Chains A and B, each alone.
Chain A
Amino acid sequence: MIASKKIDWFRLSNVELTSGIEVFYASKKFRDMPNVHSGILRHALDEYRHSGIFRNFWKEDLESSFESDSIPTPNYILKNAGLANSALDPLENNLFKICAYIYTGEFRAIEFNNDCKDIGLNNEMMLKIDLIEKDELRHAEGVMRYLKKFPLYKYFHYIIKYKTKYFFQKFNKAQVLKKLQHKTISFFARKLLSNIPYSILDFKNEKISLSKSIINARDMA
């Protein structure tokens, strides 16, 4: 139970609620297809249920008798859980775009569930997380089943787009910058090291620049 405190269950509950709202937006676009429509509503209901499960985890985690509000304010949903910056526009009518977004979202959730498991939760919590994971997988399969009725080129680029977006969302701006700096430095350092003998030879003749070193190395190759 101590480990579980590392996870902000309240935020997670709001994230699931936000997913439920997004799936609800999507459901309105499938009114002409009753089977798909009920399937998507089922999906939205699952998200609301998951939100409730995480809210219960949060309540169990509260240390004192202090009762925080279990009903999120608009700020929690819009900012904290990210609905305000959602990549899914509720007025979007492109069904492939919508499906690709939901499909990618399910894998985000699964990835997060795995992170939760790594932290080490109690058995009851693990059981519930497993069930949530099964739901997410089922949702992803359902969306893919629908998409597979259409040629790959119609939706594949949207999946790539949302996956890329998600990849960058995982890091906050500072982390992304740090990672980029690290990669750049290691790249140039490798290049520099491979150039050392030649650079030393040139040292007395001209000012050595990073770019020149790289060019020298290329020449050597």
Chain B
Amino acid sequence: MSDDKWIIGLSYGHHESSACALSSRGELIYIREEWLSRVKNDYRYPKLAINEIKNNIGENVAAIVHFQKPLKNWLGSGIKKSLSKDNYLAKINQFKEGDIFIRKNLKTNFKKLPNIYFCPHHLSHCLSSIPFIPNQNYSKNLHIVLDGYGDGISGGIFLQDKNDIICKKEFNPKSSLGLVYSAITEWANYKPNEDEFKVMALSAYGSNKYTKKILNEIILFNESTGDIEINQDYFNFEDLGISTLKPKFIETFGAYDPNINGKRNAHLNKNLCDVISSFQNAIEESVKNLVNFFYDKFKEIDYILLSGGLFHNSVLVGVMEDSKLEFSDKIIVSPSPGDAGSSLGACVFGAIKEFDKDIGFLSGKNSFIGPHLECPSTMPHLFEPLNVDPKSFILDLFKKGESIGTYGGRCEMGPRALGVRSMICDATNIESIENLNIKVKQREPFRPIAVIMSEESSCKVFTKDFTNSLTSEWMGKVSRMSVKMNFSHSDQSTRPQIIKKLSDLKDFQPVLYDLVMDGAVLGNTSFNIAGDPMVFSLEDLFINCIRMNLKFILVRDKIYKINYENIN
């Protein structure tokens, strides 16, 4: 490792900051700042993440690549007469707090600065998917980037032929589907750029009564050019000084009424769910049309790689995969397609610049590219190993309706827990699910729980066959089930992690693998209390276990008991 040259990619200045390191041999280490700073969606310069990466790779850094062009991003749509004074005041604040002073920031981590590159924002998104292509034997890939905003645009279409990546189209901020989703989130009284996943969960409770209207009047797809146009009579995406929603939107869909059911029971608010569901549906239709258009335009495509914040929407990704269109089995979405994952794209950009190699050497990666988690046995004062058979111990806990935490292996890249840092329960037991979801994790009752199951078990509950699915072991996507189960969402869907027989996922917990292969269906949620980042260090693990009253954790093939005596 000492001879390896490393590229460090950075992403900060938008919502979630992260750092990623890529070696000349193709090794990856990805860290989110929030894992270390313990501030959910931490957007600051990733000082702690870079420090952790340096602890892992040493000082042999060939280049640092930032995921966007700071000044271009800050300037945005520039100076216009029509923009309000508050817009410019907000811009001044952004100048102070954004990534303009990146060199100064870097000096806190590096005594001597290596080469610094700036990769265009949407190219970073596009490049961040490349390591997840299953094999190197591809000739032509289509990249579709649909984001909120970055570097003055909202997305793009890229065509990749090995190392050659050509931008075929750019979408301006006025056609940003990402910003539409954020605006709906804001309208529903949730936090834009943070709570979109809650809004996505609510979409299952509504009907599509406004979908036609939205597709005819608000989100317009141009069938001859492949452009998307958002009717600016309903939204304002340009001026930071005024509300994103224009009066016409409120006139058409109504205003959010806090007196109807409240936020915790938002799924009982009919109009709210209908509007959300209609927009979700309209966005799904528009994206499907867009992908179809460009797939037809650029023939002989091997893979379609979707990136940008919009593809965090696992319902949208599921719909694309289940669409039965010609391209549906060619879709790949990075585990973290948004800004946080773009530090990986920045690394790939650095690799193209610095390493004289075909970027195919990066392919075949999965979500498990975070650092290795420490073993709790190094802290016997906090964690006590138990001499028990882990499998039967877990089954006994499940019988009592209890859940267990899992911790061990390499961290997942994306926001979705995949067994390395998870809380697991028996998904067939409704009380267990409710206990974990609502009491332990304190989540809203309308949010479903994801599941882990074997390919064999999936055949019994899904109409879809996962045998050919490229990334079902780690990619987050929602699928409809043929039968209603205790763990299914109100629209009979779920987000499954399908574990295949002879899976080569080294970082998946071996005991969970055995349980799943024996036919168990496991409820799986991220290891954190609501609103906190996922656990990362052993201290986090201990604090979270105590706060959630979790008594046992599974670490690979060993059960540990939390040492409560040390606390009382």
Seen from chain A, the residues whose Cβ lies within 8 Å of a Cβ on chain B are: 21, 24, 27-28, 31, 34-35, 37-38, 41-42, 44-45, 48, 64-67, 69-74, 77-78, 83-84, 90-91
CB pair B262 A45 closer than 8 Å: no
Option from A31, A34, A69, A83 in Cβ contact (under 8 Å) with B263: A69
CB pair A41 B530 closer than 8 Å: no
Chain B min CB distance to A22 (Å):
10
The prevalent SS among residues of A at the interface is helix
Residue among A65, A71, A74 with most chain B CB within 10 A:
A74
Chain B min CB distance to A34 (Å):
4
CB pair A91 B259 closer than 8 Å: no
Q: What chain A residues lie within 8 Å of B41 (beta carbons)?
A: 73-74
Q: A37-B381, A64-B258, A67-B262 are in contact. Are A74 and B546 (CB under 8 A)?
A: no
Q: A41-B382, A45-B543, A71-B530 are in contact. Are A65 and B259 (CB under 8 A)?
A: yes
B380's nearest neighbour on chain A, judged by CB, is A34
Chain A min CB distance to B453 (Å):
30
Q: How many residues of B contact A (CB 8 A)?
A: 35
Chain B min CB distance to A56 (Å):
13
Q: What chain A residues lie within 8 Å of B39 (beta carbons)?
A: 21, 74, 77-78, 83
The prevalent SS among residues of B at the interface is loop
CB pair A48 B547 closer than 8 Å: yes
CB pair B543 A48 closer than 8 Å: yes
Q: What chain B residues lie within 8 Å of A31 (beta carbons)?
A: 379
B542 at the interface (CB under 8 A from A): yes
- In the bound complex, CA of A197 to CA of B36 (Å): 68
CB pair A27 B531 closer than 8 Å: no
Q: What chain B residues lie within 8 Å of A21 (beta carbons)?
A: 37-39
Option from B43, B262, B382 in Cβ contact (under 8 Å) with A38: B382
- In the bound complex, CA of A73 to CA of B190 (Å): 11
Chain B min CB distance to A122 (Å):
25
B51 at the interface (CB under 8 A from A): yes
B79 at the interface (CB under 8 A from A): no
Option from B37, B264, B547 in Cβ contact (under 8 Å) with A90: B37
CB pair A41 B543 closer than 8 Å: yes
- In the bound complex, CA of A34 to CA of B539 (Å): 12
- CB<8 Å pairs between A and B, sample of 19: A24-B543, A28-B539, A38-B381, A41-B382, A44-B539, A45-B546, A45-B547, A64-B259, A66-B258, A66-B262, A69-B190, A71-B40, A73-B41, A74-B43, A77-B39, A90-B36, A90-B37, A90-B47, A90-B48
Chain B min CB distance to A54 (Å):
15
4 further A-B contacts with Cβ under 8 Å, apart from A37-B382, A72-B531, A74-B39, are A31-B379, A41-B543, A78-B44, A90-B37
- In the bound complex, CA of A42 to CA of B36 (Å): 19
Q: What chain B residues lie within 8 Å of A90 (beta carbons)?
A: 36-37, 47-48
Option from B47, B191, B566 in Cβ contact (under 8 Å) with A73: B191
CB pair A41 B542 closer than 8 Å: yes
Chain B window 18-39, contacts with chain A (Cβ cutoff 8 Å), 1 for yes, 0 for no = 0000000000000000001111
CB pair B42 A74 closer than 8 Å: yes
Q: What chain A residues lie within 8 Å of B40 (beta carbons)?
A: 71, 74
B231 at the interface (CB under 8 A from A): no
B37's nearest neighbour on chain A, judged by CB, is A90
B491 at the interface (CB under 8 A from A): no
Seen from chain B, the residues whose Cβ lies within 8 Å of a Cβ on chain A are: 36-44, 47-48, 51, 190-191, 194, 258-259, 262-264, 379-382, 530-531, 537, 539-540, 542-543, 546-547, 566-567
- In the bound complex, CA of A73 to CA of B382 (Å): 30
Chain A min CB distance to B31 (Å):
14
Q: A69-B263, A73-B194 are in contact. Are A34 and B381 (CB under 8 A)?
A: yes
- In the bound complex, CA of A78 to CA of B97 (Å): 12
Q: A73-B191, A74-B40 are in contact. Are A28 and B258 (CB under 8 A)?
A: no
Q: What chain B residues lie within 8 Å of A73 (beta carbons)?
A: 41, 191, 194
- In the bound complex, CA of A21 to CA of B40 (Å): 12
Q: What chain A residues lie within 8 Å of B379 (beta carbons)?
A: 31, 34, 37
Q: A41-B539, A65-B262 are in contact. Are A84 and B44 (CB under 8 A)?
A: yes
Chain B min CB distance to A162 (Å):
21
CB pair B567 A24 closer than 8 Å: no
Chain B min CB distance to A86 (Å):
11
- In the bound complex, CA of A35 to CA of B563 (Å): 13
- In the bound complex, CA of A35 to CA of B42 (Å): 31
CB pair B539 A71 closer than 8 Å: no
- In the bound complex, CA of A72 to CA of B195 (Å): 12
CB pair B566 A91 closer than 8 Å: no
Q: What chain B residues lie within 8 Å of A71 (beta carbons)?
A: 40, 530-531
Q: What chain A residues lie within 8 Å of B191 (beta carbons)?
A: 69, 73
